[in-house]
Amino acid sequence: MDKNIRVAIVHDYLNQAGGAERVVGVLHQIFPDAPIYTTILDKEKLISELKEADIRTTWMQKIPGINKHFKTYFWLYPLAMKSITLSEYDLIISSSSAYAKGVRKSKDSIHICYCHTPMRFAWDFDTYMNGVNIPKFLKFIAKMMVAPLRLWDKTTSKGVDYYIANSSIVQKRIKQNYDLPSKIIFPPVNLTRFKDISLENDEYYLVVSRLVSYKKIDLAIEACTKLGKRLVIIGDGPDRTRLESIAGPSVEFLGRISDKDVESYMKKCKAFIFPGIEDFGITPLEVNACGRPVIAFRAGGALDSIKSGVNGMYFEEQNVNALMEVLNSFDSKTWNPREIRKHAENFSEERFIKELKEYINLVLK
């Protein structure tokens, strides 16, 4: 790659710390001099890799309370993206699950979009609004905006030169929603955090997740409650009260805890339960990096990361009985922690950087 090439990185919003933000962190590692353009920023939620980065926000940053109510301003993000000027750059790399891919560029520049998923608000409204505590009439008004935002999303999709999908299911959505091809490059998993594997485990199953209803954590709770199996749940969110109300005495809620403690629970768990449908799902691979297997619903990003019998097992239907059936048969399977760790290494940051650089070099030729 030409060292003189001018690069800009664009992301939807930097006000949370999840898998998408980790991708931005690795993009910054690859292009440390590239400015990062985003609509809004919450410095307190910024991942450590981006603390010293050149981050440039839009006029939306000045809206009072924007970080607390950022989802309710969904209709402003396209306008904020339009206000970003990128005419001076040769290469634009967007990390997008909604708006970043709609940023404008000059006719001579190349725009590569790393797509976590097409815009949820436009294509999966109910999932997007899950856990957003607003009055019913405001939610009704929001639903009226689905059609125009879907039109904007599809129209601006044509402004991207090349799409990279983070999983097979996202590749299918890009084809279905935009009628465009994409290259799959799985997101980076920071395996260096997990240096040691556990050759022994304690008698508990584990969930590490934001507690929202679409994650389907209630399936794990009900299954473990009915079977009397110990389940440890790490994380917090708007669905916690409901989940606690259906949990039996074998289920324990720890809330948010330190990364070090999370790692300790990952290393000692019997297995990690992953009952939802995710675009990819980095946490199961972090558990694999600790040498522990995953029990996942056979759908979504899990199809790319879980190899049945090697690093985990699937349950076939998204219901309590199907999960209970797998939990009952789990003890009959022998797991090799070293083999599980080796599988996780296929999704390392180094692999992501190598594949991304190769792809960028290919499209810039």
Tell me, letter by letter, the H, E, C secondary structure of 97-113: CCCHHHCCCCCCCEEEE
> How far apart are the C-alpha atoms of 49 and 98, rounded to whole Å?
22
Helix (H) or strand (E) holding 184: strand 183-184
The number of helix segments (H) and strand segments (E) in the chain equals: 15, 13
Collapsed DSSP state (helix, strand, coil) of residue 162: strand
Q: What is the pTM of this model?
A: 0.88
Q: What is the pLDDT along the chain (365 residues), one digit of tens a residue?
A: 677 899 999 999 999 888 899 999 999 999 999 999 999 999 998 998 999 999 999 999 999 999 888 877 878 999 999 999 999 999 999 999 989 999 999 989 999 999 999 987 767 766 666 655 667 766 677 677 778 888 899 999 999 999 999 999 999 999 999 999 999 999 999 888 888 787 788 899 999 998 988 899 999 999 999 999 999 999 998 899 999 999 999 999 999 999 899 999 999 999 999 999 999 999 999 999 999 999 999 999 999 999 999 999 999 999 999 999 999 999 889 999 999 999 999 999 999 999 999 999 999 98
Full DSSP string of 189-227: B-GGG-----SS--S-EEEES---GGG-HHHHHHHHHHH
The alpha carbon dihedral of 207, 208, 211, 216 has a sign of: negative
**Does residue 43 contact residue 67 with C-beta atoms inside 8 Å?**
no
Exposure class string for 143-166: b at 16+ Cβ within 10 A, else e: eeebeebbebbbebbeebebbbbb
- 178-to-11, 153, 159, 182, 311 alpha-carbon distances in Å: 20, 9, 11, 11, 34
Using DSSP's 3-state secondary structure scheme, residue 159 falls into coil
Domains in the chain, CATH or no CATH each: 7-188+349-364 (3.40.50), 191-347 (3.40.50.2000)
DSSP one-letter code for 175: H
